[in-house]
Amino acid sequence: MSYDIYLTERVSGEPILLPIKHVMTGGTYHADYNPATDTFTPAATNEAWLNITYNYSRYYYEATENDDRFYGRELYGDKKYGNLGIRGIYGKTGLESIAMLNDMILRIESRYKKNNEWIITKRVKSKFKDRNGNERNPMDLFMHDQDFTEENYEVDVSEGPNDDYWTETAANALKPLYQLLVFAKLRPDGVWDGD
d(CA 138, CA 141): 5
Residue 75 has pLDDT above 70, yes or no: no
3-state secondary structure 124-154: EEEEEEECCCCECCHHHHHHCCCCEEEEEEE
pLDDT tens-place string over residues 152-187 = 889 999 999 999 999 999 999 999 999 999 999 999
Q: What is the mean pLDDT of residues 23-39?
A: 82
CA angle 74, 76, 80 (to 5 degrees): 25
Q: Which of 107, 116, 100, 105 is nearest to 176 (CA)?
A: 105
Provide the greatest CA pair distance for the chain.
Answer: 60
Residue 114 has pLDDT above 80, yes or no: yes
Show me where the domains of the chain are located.
Answer: 2-119+159-194
Q: Map residue 179 onto helix, strand or coil.
A: helix
Q: What is the mean pLDDT of residues 115-133?
A: 90
pTM equals 0.83
Chain center to CA of 149:
31
The answer to whether 59 touches 172, Cβ cutoff 8 Å, is: no
